[in-house]
């Protein structure tokens, strides 16, 4: 059975508060899709709306301590977050985060009651070398806490070369990767591996959302640039809605 789709915006280090009313109206009107906005931590409480799940973009794995500039899971939950992205490729690259650290963050997030969105993805050089599936499944195995469940954890496959570039993989390549991620989840978690949603991320926009969201095992999208404008984000929510044909 198809999993309920999740469309999650990742605002990164941008603010789009003026778009929130239109986004929340669309989320309320499309109740059979989960809609999330992962905002900068300072905007979490301001972003909260009844129809939307608010997420953070990173967390520390420790509950407290001498970690200047970091935020604990409890702090994010206290601010109103119910989800958190961990292991985004920008953090893996810019902050040299390892998959082991990502696993510790995901574990802390789930223990603290947040849904973890664990990101994985290959670089262009890795894809060109024919290693995309091996790289992503290896990252997944190292980043996923062993007790992960469909209720607690979401996977986001985001090819690094597709993020913010306007380029997306061929539908066949997305299908191959999502099938491989699904198989790896089942290998790691048993039958529960069928219950985790696998989002696609990387240059999702209104013009490609319907095609991407129709691919088997694409259970939603993690949307960067296009989540900053309701005029772009709302059609992506609509494209994920089973009751509305694409182009509605």
Active-site residues: which are they?
Answer: 88, 158
Residue 224, Cβ density class (10 Å: 0-12 exposed, 13-18 middle, ≥19 buried): buried
Q: How far apart are CA 212 and CA 208, in angstroms?
A: 6
- Measured from the CB atom, the residue of 112 and 225 that comes closer to ligand PGA is 225
Rounded to the nearest whole angstrom, what is the least distance from the CB of residue 181 to ligand PGA in the complex? Answer: 16
Which segments of 95-131 does DSSP mark as H helices, in order?
99-111, 124-128
Among 16, 54, 198, 204, binds ligand PGA (CB under 6 A): 204
- Measured from the CB atom, the residue of 40 and 188 that comes closer to ligand PGA is 40
Helix, strand or coil, per DSSP, at residue 86:
strand
x/- contact string, 80-109, with ligand PGA (CB under 6 A)? ------------------------------
Helix, strand or coil, per DSSP, at residue 87:
coil
Among 137, 203, 208, 241, binds ligand PGA (CB under 6 A): 203
Name the one range near ligand PGA by CB under 6 A: 127-135, 143-151, 197-205, 238-246: 197-205
Q: Within the chain, what is the greatest distance between any pair of CA atoms? A: 51
**Counting contacts by CB under 6 A, is residue 208 touching ligand PGA?**
no
Among 163, 196, 215, 234, binds ligand PGA (CB under 6 A): 163
Strand residue runs (E) in the chain = 6-10, 34-38, 53-56, 83-86, 115-120, 153-157, 197-201, 220-223
Q: Which position's Cβ is nearest ligand PGA?
A: 224
Interaction site with ligand PGA (CB under 6 A) = 10, 158, 163-164, 201-204, 222-226
């Amino acid at each position: 059975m198809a999993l309920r789709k999740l469309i999650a915006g990742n605002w990164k280090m941008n603010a789009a508060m003026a778009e929130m009313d239109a986004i929340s109206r669309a989320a309320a009107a499309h109740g059979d899709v989960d809609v999330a906005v992962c905002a900068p931590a300072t905007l979490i409480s301001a972003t909260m709306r009844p129809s939307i799940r608010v997420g953070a973009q990173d967390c520390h794995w420790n509950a407290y301590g001498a970690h200047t500039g970091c935020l604990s899971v409890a702090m994010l939950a206290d601010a109103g977050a119910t989800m958190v992205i961990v292991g985004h490729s920008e953090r893996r690259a810019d902050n040299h985060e390892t998959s082991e650290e990502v696993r510790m963050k995901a574990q802390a997030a789930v223990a603290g009651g947040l849904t973890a969105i664990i990101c994985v993805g290959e670089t262009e050089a890795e894809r060109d070398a024919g290693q995309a599936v091996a790289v992503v499944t290896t990252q997944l195995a190292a980043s996923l806490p062993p007790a992960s469940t469909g209720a607690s954890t979401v996977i986001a496959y985001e090819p690094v070369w597709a993020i913010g570039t306007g380029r997306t993989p061929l539908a066949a390549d997305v299908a191959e990767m999502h099938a491989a991620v699904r198989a790896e989840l089942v290998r790691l978690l048993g039958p529960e591996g069928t219950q985790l949603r696998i989002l696609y991320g990387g240059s999702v926009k209104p013009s490609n959302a319907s095609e991407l969201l129709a691919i088997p095992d694409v259970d939603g999208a993690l949307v960067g640039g296009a989540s900053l404008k309701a005029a772009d984000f709302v059609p992506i929510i609509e494209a994920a809605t089973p009751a509305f044909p694409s182009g509605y």
